């Protein structure tokens, strides 16, 4: 075996030269890997003992893409396009051997090979769009030449990978290899050489482009169909333009067009924000005082207390991960209802063709219902998801403590209550943790994990790993009212309510936040979630909110009652402004002695967003969140903050903390002390720093 670079080696195995990339963790295309592959091809071409070449990877995966840590740094030779050109023009057939994931530049490298084989579990895709860019090493030019324009549009603008079987079906993989991959790839390469099969240069294959050439409307149709999904994002449009280039330009020109469109994105704020977010999400997995090698508790079974909307949604996550669930309710009727809802949710997904009946049956077979808490005695984790009442929760935890086996984790899904206090209701507070799922719990990716003063490192590490297993993105936070997400959300809500009293139209407040990139504004959101939820919480706390209370007193609970802040026609989810609500607002403003005025969109945005940022500064100062970037993860995955703005902390740095600080002082002069900048914000401004510097 010859080392070409530190990360790539070359070895002749009989008549086949095998180039192996070995650059943990994911064989990303750093300079050493690029140079190694190019050197490996040259070595194999020069090696008279071989007549075919295999490109394979050691470790858990084929090349998972460009090395994202190199983005933004001066480019180093050789560029990936040069490496791919060297492969494509090799005089001996090159076969890519794919396991794990061939993503981004990794798939582009494979597309530069003459043939591709893969193990059945392999996945291939071009996820660059998720990083705010496009495949910049020929991916937008080669993929449509292999799978056709329609499929390439879907794969490149979604960024979602496809499995080996599908890749084989669409011609992206030439053979699925059962058994040892490298051996299978060598056998395939030998066959190609022996049969004198052509050296397939994808860049010269134009047949699959013909249909789109005849029917250019395919692009505008695709744009129209996906307008909602692409709203606010810059990268998908450039991906589409690059694929148009593949159809309309000769390959070398198309490649140039791709490069221009790539560079346009790469220097933009969206790409920077999305790449920042990629690393933020991974960083959130790491808890500074919980070592990486902390032993984990095996979670093979779960119990859920409460079969309401949250309990049912939480159960679905576990079932889908293959973990048996026992769900407990107080009455048979409530239990049947809860299980019925889970079943009908799955049935709806089956009828839409997004889940097989077989998978649904498997999930349902893992679910057991019970009306007896005792049935949770053997489970590895219990998640309590009953209504928000401290006394009742303490009682349940006291019982669970007696029933559940030693070593079982006792978690609460509370979104408001003090998890330390809940832990103290047991004899094992170190096993108690908050697992705050977001509604709908089977859909929303965020899992806000709440550590108490006593939660043990093992329990924290186990719950972080568990989150990944059930498809969630976790962020660990400390105990405070509303934790991180809802505590910040409350600040936005207060301002939204105040703005409509001062004269802003509620549909304007919603529009400004929608245009900022949120899925919907605060009033439409409240109508969707149910206005009665907040009303009950306010009543419990003895606080009032004049407009919100008045609409609830009229039974206007939102979409479910057909009326809320807006009116909804029967069967429709489209909000329509309602004069009755306008009257309520005008009266409330009059009662409060407020002179109503015009409020600009700019003021609406600043007044909704800046108090959240200010609250986040306090949260950081109190150590409730570990890092600013964790707060961004919470807001993107839990509240629909547009990922292309990176999250509230990243956005604050982008706007400039000094600008935010100065605006806050202006609002303070107009509206009072609630606008006092947090000490941390003030400190960062004085030091000329941003949240990124913490």
Stretch near ligand TC6 under the rule CB under 6 A, chosen from 21-29, 315-323, 485-493, 684-692: 21-29
Under rule CB under 6 A, residue 633 binds ligand TC6: no
Under rule CB under 6 A, residue 128 binds ligand TC6: yes
Range 267-301 burial, b when 16+ CB lie within 10 A, else e: ebebbbbbbbbbebbeebbebeebeeebeebebeb
Q: Helices (DSSP H) in 433-558: which residue ranges?
A: 457-469, 485-502, 506-516, 522-529, 531-541, 546-553
Under rule CB under 6 A, residue 105 binds ligand TC6: yes
Under rule CB under 6 A, residue 147 binds ligand TC6: no
Which residue do the tokens 């006593």 mark? 454
Tokens of 414: 């509370």
Under rule CB under 6 A, residue 68 binds ligand TC6: yes
- Which residue among the candidates 128, 258, 507, 615 is catalytic per the annotation? 128
Under rule CB under 6 A, residue 101 binds ligand TC6: yes
Nearer to ligand TC6, 265 or 680 (CB): 265
- Kindly state the smallest distance separating residue 130's Cβ from ligand TC6, in Å: 6
Under rule CB under 6 A, residue 67 binds ligand TC6: yes
- Which residue among the candidates 11, 70, 108, 264 is catalytic per the annotation? 108
Under rule CB under 6 A, residue 282 binds ligand TC6: yes
Under rule CB under 6 A, residue 615 binds ligand TC6: no
Under rule CB under 6 A, residue 290 binds ligand TC6: no
- Kindly state the smallest distance separating residue 156's Cβ from ligand TC6, in Å: 12
Under rule CB under 6 A, residue 89 binds ligand TC6: no
Nearer to ligand TC6, 229 or 468 (CB): 468
Nearest to 428 by CA among 450, 447, 465, 403: 403
Under rule CB under 6 A, residue 604 binds ligand TC6: no
Range 359-371 burial, b when 16+ CB lie within 10 A, else e: ebeebeebbebbe
- Determine the size of the site formed for ligand TC6 (CB under 6 A): 22
Under rule CB under 6 A, residue 26 binds ligand TC6: yes
CB 534 within 8 Å of CB 543: no
Among 16, 95, 103, 433, binds ligand TC6 (CB under 6 A): 103
Which residue do the tokens 């396009």 mark? 81
CB 419 within 8 Å of CB 391: no
Stretch near ligand TC6 under the rule CB under 6 A, chosen from 129-137, 424-432, 492-500, 677-685: 129-137
Under rule CB under 6 A, residue 97 binds ligand TC6: no
Under rule CB under 6 A, residue 28 binds ligand TC6: yes
Tokens of 110: 């494979």
Nearest to 281 by CA among 631, 612, 622: 631
Nearest to 551 by CA among 594, 503, 614, 500: 500
Under rule CB under 6 A, residue 255 binds ligand TC6: no
Cα angle 309, 313, 318 (rounded to 5 degrees) comes to 150
Nearest to 502 by CA among 575, 577, 608: 608
C-alpha–C-alpha distance, residues 610 and 606, integer Å:
5
Stretch near ligand TC6 under the rule CB under 6 A, chosen from 58-66, 383-391, 607-615, 617-625: 58-66
Q: Is 430 a catalytic residue?
A: no
Nearer to ligand TC6, 160 or 561 (CB): 160
Stretch near ligand TC6 under the rule CB under 6 A, chosen from 22-30, 43-51, 240-248, 652-660: 22-30
Nearest to 368 by CA among 346, 335, 408, 341: 335
Under rule CB under 6 A, residue 680 binds ligand TC6: no
Stretch near ligand TC6 under the rule CB under 6 A, chosen from 24-32, 49-57, 531-539, 599-607: 24-32
What does DSSP assign to residue 216?
A: T
Q: What is the secondary structure of 391-407 as a DSSP string?
A: HHHHHHHHHHHHHSPTT
- Kindly state the smallest distance separating residue 129's Cβ from ligand TC6, in Å: 9
C-alpha–C-alpha distance, residues 452 and 432, integer Å:
8
Q: What is the secondary structure of 147-201 as a DSSP string?
A: H-HHHHHHHHHH---EEHHHHHHTTS-SEEPPS-HHHHHHHHHHHHHHTT-----
What does DSSP assign to residue 330?
A: S
Nearer to ligand TC6, 66 or 186 (CB): 66
Q: Is 128 a catalytic residue?
A: yes
**Which residues between 509 and 528 bind ligand TC6 (CB under 6 A)?**
none
CB 100 within 8 Å of CB 122: yes
CB 342 within 8 Å of CB 312: yes
Among 40, 93, 112, 127, binds ligand TC6 (CB under 6 A): 127
Under rule CB under 6 A, residue 137 binds ligand TC6: yes
Under rule CB under 6 A, residue 66 binds ligand TC6: yes
Q: What are phi and psi of 477, to 5 degrees?
A: -135, 170
- Kindly state the smallest distance separating residue 125's Cβ from ligand TC6, in Å: 9
Among 65, 312, 493, 530, binds ligand TC6 (CB under 6 A): 65
The answer for residues whose C-beta is within 8 angstroms of residue 461's C-beta and 6 or more apart is: 287, 290, 294, 295, 296
What are the contacts of 437-440 at 24+ separation with CB within 8 A? 437/310, 437/313, 437/314, 437/317, 437/385, 437/413, 437/472, 438/485, 438/637, 438/638, 439/309, 439/310, 439/313, 439/529, 440/309, 440/313
Nearer to ligand TC6, 107 or 489 (CB): 107
- Kindly state the smallest distance separating residue 58's Cβ from ligand TC6, in Å: 15
Under rule CB under 6 A, residue 136 binds ligand TC6: yes
Under rule CB under 6 A, residue 369 binds ligand TC6: no
Under rule CB under 6 A, residue 64 binds ligand TC6: yes
Among 131, 247, 477, 624, binds ligand TC6 (CB under 6 A): 131
Stretch near ligand TC6 under the rule CB under 6 A, chosen from 133-141, 444-452, 503-511, 592-600: 133-141
* Interface ranges with ligand TC6 (CB under 6 A): 25-26, 28, 61, 64-69, 80, 101, 103-105, 127-128, 131, 135-137, 282
- Residues belonging to the active site: 108, 128
């Amino acid at each position: 075996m010859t080392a070409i670079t530190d990360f790539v080696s070359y070895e002749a195995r009989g008549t086949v030269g095998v180039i192996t990339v070995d650059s943990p963790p994911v064989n990303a295309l750093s300079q050493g890997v690029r140079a190694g592959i190019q050197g490996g091809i040259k070595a194999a071409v020069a090696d008279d003992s071989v007549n075919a070449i295999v490109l394979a990877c050691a470790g858990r995966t084929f090349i998972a893409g460009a090395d994202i840590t190199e983005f933004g740094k001066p480019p180093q030779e050789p560029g990936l396009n040069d490496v791919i050109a060297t492969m494509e023009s090799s005089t001996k057939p090159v076969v890519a051997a794919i396991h794990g994931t061939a993503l981004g530049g990794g798939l582009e490298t494979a597309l530069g090979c003459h043939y591709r084989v893969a193990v059945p579990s392999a996945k291939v895709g071009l996820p660059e769009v998720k990083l705010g860019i496009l495949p910049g090493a020929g991916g937008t030019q080669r993929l449509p030449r292999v799978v056709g324009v329609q499929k390439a549009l879907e794969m490149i603008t979604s960024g979602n990978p496809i499995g080996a079987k599908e890749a084989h079906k669409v011609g992206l993989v030439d053979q699925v290899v059962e058994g040892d991959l490298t051996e299978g790839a060598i056998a395939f390469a030998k066959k190609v050489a022996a049969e004198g099969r052509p050296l397939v240069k994808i860049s010269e294959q134009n047949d699959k482009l013909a249909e789109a050439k005849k029917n250019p409307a395919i692009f505008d149709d695709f744009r129209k169909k996906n307008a909602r999904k692409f709203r606010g994002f810059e990268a998908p449009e450039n991906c589409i333009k690059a694929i148009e280039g593949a159809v309309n330009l000769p390959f070398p020109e198309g490649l140039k067009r791709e490069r221009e469109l790539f560079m346009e994105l790469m220097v933009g704020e969206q790409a920077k924000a999305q790449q920042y977010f990629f690393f933020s999400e991974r960083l959130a997995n790491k808890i500074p005082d919980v070592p990486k090698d902390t032993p984990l508790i095996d979670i093979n079974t779960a119990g859920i207390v409460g079969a309401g909307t949250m309990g049912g949604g939480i159960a679905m996550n576990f079932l889908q991960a293959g973990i048996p669930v026992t769900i407990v309710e107080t009455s048979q009727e409530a239990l049947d209802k809860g299980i019925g809802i889970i079943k009908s949710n799955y049935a709806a997904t089956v009828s839409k063709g997004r889940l097989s009946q077989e998978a649904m049956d498997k999930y349902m077979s893992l679910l057991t219902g019970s009306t007896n808490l005792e049935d949770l005695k053997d489970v590895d984790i219990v998640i309590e998801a009953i209504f928000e009442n401290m006394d009742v929760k303490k009682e349940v935890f006291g019982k669970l403590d007696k029933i559940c086996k030693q070593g079982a984790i006792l978690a609460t899904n509370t979104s408001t209550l003090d998890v330390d206090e809940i832990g103290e209701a047991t004899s094992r507070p170190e096993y108690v943790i908050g697992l705050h799922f977001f509604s709908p719990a089977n859909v929303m990716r965020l899992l806000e994990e709440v550590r108490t003063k006593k939660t043990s490192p093992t329990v924290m590490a186990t719950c972080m790993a568990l989150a990944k297993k059930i498809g969630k993105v976790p962020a660990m936070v400390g105990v405070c009212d509303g934790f991180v997400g809802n505590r910040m959300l409350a600040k936005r809500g207060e301002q939204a309510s105040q703005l409509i009293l001062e004269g802003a139209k509620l549909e304007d407040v919603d529009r400004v936040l929608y245009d900022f990139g949120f899925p919907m504004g605060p009033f439409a959101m409240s109508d969707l979630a149910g206005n009665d939820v907040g009303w009950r919480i306010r009543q419990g706390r003895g606080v009032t909110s004049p407009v919100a209370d008045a609409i609830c007193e009229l039974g206007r609970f939102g979409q479910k009652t057909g009326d809320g802040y807006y009116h909804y026609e029967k069967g429709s989810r489209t909000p329509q402004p309602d004069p009755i609500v306008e009257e309520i607002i005008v009266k409330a403003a009059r009662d409060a002695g407020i002179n109503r005025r015009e409020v600009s969109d700019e003021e609406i945005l600043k007044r909704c967003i800046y108090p959240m940022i200010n609250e986040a500064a306090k949260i950081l100062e109190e150590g409730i969140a570990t890092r600013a970037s964790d707060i961004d993860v919470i807001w993107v995955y839990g509240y629909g903050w547009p990922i292309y703005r990176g999250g509230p902390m990243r956005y604050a740095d982008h706007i400039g903390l000094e600008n935010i600080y100065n605006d806050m002082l202006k609002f303070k002069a107009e509206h009072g002390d609630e606008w006092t900048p947090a000490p941390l914000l003030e400190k960062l401004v004085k030091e000329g720093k941003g949240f990124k510097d913490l």
